[in-house]
Amino acid sequence: MRRFLWATLLGLVGAGIVHIVVLMLVPQVSERGAWSQLAAAAGLDGPTAVDGRDGGIVIRPHDPAFLTSACLFDLTEGYLHVASDHRVPFWSASVYNRNGSSQLAVNDRSSQRGLLDIVVLSTDQMVELRREAPDGMERSILAETAAVEGIVVVRAFVPDASWTEAVQAFMDDLRCERL
């Protein structure tokens, strides 16, 4: 009887460990993750609507009070500049690595003028940028990340129907440029 209980206990502990490992590996092996869906829909060519508007993809259920777009990045080809010249009541931007772990989150309060102007770069690129900063980047938010590949998600709040046009203009002007 003692051997049976010992074998049962070892089996339960082993099953628990395997269960945890499998759950932690799902983002790395999933073919339906955000990175895979965005890469299939748009690649590295610029922002993609991820809330179903304009034929964009839906990564998860969206909040109708927000318009959402995402940009894939690969920092081996240079850093990423995310910007829009329009003002909206509220915007937020989050940087995620390829597996979906959050690296940075900023909003309109983080910006000097309330405009979206973020530069996503690696540690090595940050050192280079500090030596020779290109003109016009002194007001940009510098988002240093250890991730070589990732996603920048930009969300803009639509407080009521009268703001729809302005927020849509903000999203239409959204640029994700590799520099």
CATH of the domain at 144: 2.60.40
Judge if 16 and 95 occupy the same domain: no
Judge if 78 and 163 occupy the same domain: yes
Judge if 23 and 106 occupy the same domain: no
Judge if 122 and 63 occupy the same domain: yes
- Cβ contacts of residue 161 below 8 Å, gap of 6+? none
Share of the chain above pLDDT 70, in %: 78
State mean pLDDT over 126-138. 75
Given this model, what pLDDT does residue 27 score?
64
H or E element at residue 9: helix 2-29
Q: How many CA atoms lie within 13 A of 145 on its CB side?
A: 29
- Distance (Å, whole) CA 69 – CA 71: 7
State mean pLDDT over 127-154. 80
Question: pTM of this prediction?
Answer: 0.73
Q: Domain range holding 106?
A: 34-178
Judge if 14 and 78 occupy the same domain: no
Q: With 70 as the cut, is the pLDDT of residue 64 above it?
A: yes
State mean pLDDT over 87-114. 84
Decide: 77 and 63 in contact? Cβ < 8 Å.
no
- Cβ contacts of residue 65 below 8 Å, gap of 6+? 157, 158, 159
Q: With 80 as the cut, is the pLDDT of residue 179 above it?
A: no
- Out of 5-14, 33-42, 120-129, 147-156, least confident range: 33-42
Judge if 104 and 166 occupy the same domain: yes
Judge if 39 and 127 occupy the same domain: yes
Decide: 52 and 62 in contact? Cβ < 8 Å.
yes
Judge if 19 and 96 occupy the same domain: no
User: 78 by DSSP, 3-state: which?
Assistant: coil
State mean pLDDT over 166-175. 90
- Distance (Å, whole) CA 155 – CA 71: 12
Any idea which residue has 């729809």 for tokens? Answer: 164
Residue-wise pLDDT tens digits, 9-61: 999 999 999 999 888 777 666 655 666 666 666 666 567 777 655 555 555 55
Judge if 20 and 57 occupy the same domain: no
Judge if 82 and 21 occupy the same domain: no
- Distance (Å, whole) CA 148 – CA 7: 45
Any idea which residue has 């991820």 for tokens? Answer: 50
Judge if 7 and 84 occupy the same domain: no
More confident residue, 173 or 135: 173
State mean pLDDT over 106-124. 84
Judge if 109 and 54 occupy the same domain: yes
Does the CA dihedral 174-176-177-179 come out positive or negative?
Answer: positive
Count of the separate structural domains present in the chain = 2
Burial of 127 (C-beta count, 10 Å sphere; 0-12/13-18/19+): exposed
More confident residue, 101 or 8: 8
Structure tokens at 129: 């940028």
